Amino acid sequence: MNAIVVGGGIGGLTTAAFLQRQGVRVQIFEQAPEIQPVGAGIVLAPNAVRLLRRLDVMGMLQQQALKVRTGWQFRRWHNGQILLAQDMDECESLYGEAAWLVHRADLLDALLAAVDKDSLHLGHQCTNIEQSSSGVTVTFANGASTKGEVLVAADGIHSAVRRQLIGQLGARDSGLCAWRAMIPRDRLPEEFLSPTQTLWLGPGRHLVHYPVSAGRTINVVAFTPAQPGETVESWSAQGKAEDFQAEFAGWDGMVGQLLEAVTQVGRWSVLDRTPISRYTYDRVVLLGDAAHPMLPFFAQGAGQAIEDAAALAASVELAGDWPTALTAYDRVRVPRTAQVQQASHSRSEVNHLPDGPDQEARDDAFAGQDPLRHSDWLYSYDAQAEAKQAVLANDDKTGPRAFSRKGSAVQENNGG
């Protein structure tokens, strides 16, 4: 069995690593000319960590990652009042893994070490795909082309593969923009170095900070109302540090101290998208943000891409053929990711309540919550086990499947 993976980010590298462990010949094509140590912080929850550990990358990753020990903290915007403090001591006993704070670059380094070095091809931007009864051919901007049995599209939120298959995903303006900054630890006092994910809640906006890269850097991400006509959706888009500080003027002094240490900040629009109803199109499978871009309020973007990769490889392992494996992948991943997308969507409304009765009721409710146990549906999920069950269910009902002879894609009604 062989496969082409378009995209050398978290989803693409994890997919390649898992499939190569199953003996699948995988070639990865990344449009960037080199893998740069860019990006920002990521929270890896137990549902993703258990899969990375099975991939044997956690040993390397843990040298740079920080285990969440003192928990999550929710704080009131104007006075720093702690609304909720989740003790994470029980996380491993409940779910078999802890939550970890990592830098995206550190995770990519660990994943790169897990794939065959000769299988990664840089400087290859996908421009066209063609399916036939015998395979799928991918053409790149540099004139190169390649053919494989299956194409895994892990080329991100602006996926060229998805665009050719089903057009643009219908994107709606969420009314929010995102800010992201990385601050060296020597610019901040000790209180910011604790391995705690701290979330500040205020009217119409919120801010999160936590350390990454073995505590050398503090990751800051925030969401505020967007300006009219603000539609740039790119992590490379830049903002101004003074504008970032102005958005949180009047907030608790700890927030002010944090933002005063910011010298460079990214700023981009947050667009919302409706889930699509399928991720497989004969010989092409969508994965990660190419399949299910989601609002970032549940910290599961990377986690769901990792789940996708593990589920696809587990389906291949048990099915032994691509058509059956892709059918099982589609059956199990579409409802799972749609559930996480909806949870992420709902969180923005809760986080940004204006001061008043609803906000007070929310804050009072935090006192009686146990988010760790409340997240059982998310953290206890085993993507590999669920995928294998889907393969077995397919075998019981229909037996092995085959690709269509033409290999054509069905158009998706996605509002684009």
Q: Which residues are 209's β-sheet partners?
A: 198, 220
Q: How many residues does the chain have?
A: 416
Q: Is the dihedral of CA 15, 16, 17, 21 positive or negative?
A: positive
- By C-alpha distance, which of 394, 373, 390 is closest to 382? 390
Residue 210 falls in the annotated catalytic set: yes
Q: At what angle do helices 383-397 and 46-54 cross, to 10 degrees?
A: 80
What is the Cα–Cα distance from 274 to 49, expressed in whole angstroms? 27
Phi/psi of residue 152, nearest 5 degrees: -100, 115
- Residue bearing tokens 């929310």: 362
Query: What tokens appear for 313 in the block?
Result: 């490889």
What is the Cα–Cα distance from 402 to 323, expressed in whole angstroms? 5
- By C-alpha distance, which of 201, 242, 240 is closest to 222? 201
What is the Cα–Cα distance from 208 to 210, expressed in whole angstroms? 7
Taking residue 348's Cβ as centre, other Cβ atoms within 10 Å add up to: 19
Q: Which residues are 285's β-sheet partners?
A: 152, 280
Q: DSSP for 378-416?
A: HHS--HHHHHHHHHHHHHHHT------SS-PPPPP----
Q: Side chain identity at 67, as an amino acid letter?
A: K
Q: Contact 30/12 with Cβ under 8 angstroms?
A: yes
Phi/psi of residue 138, nearest 5 degrees: -115, 130
Q: DSSP for 333-354?
A: HHHHHHHHHHHHHHHHHHHTPP
Q: Which of 95, 210, 329, 379 is catalytic?
A: 210
Give 171's DSSP letter: E
Q: What share of the chain is helix, strand, coil (3-state, %, to 5)?
A: 40, 25, 35
Q: Contact 9/288 with Cβ under 8 angstroms?
A: yes
Q: Side chain identity at 89, as an amino acid letter?
A: D
Which residues are designated catalytic? 210
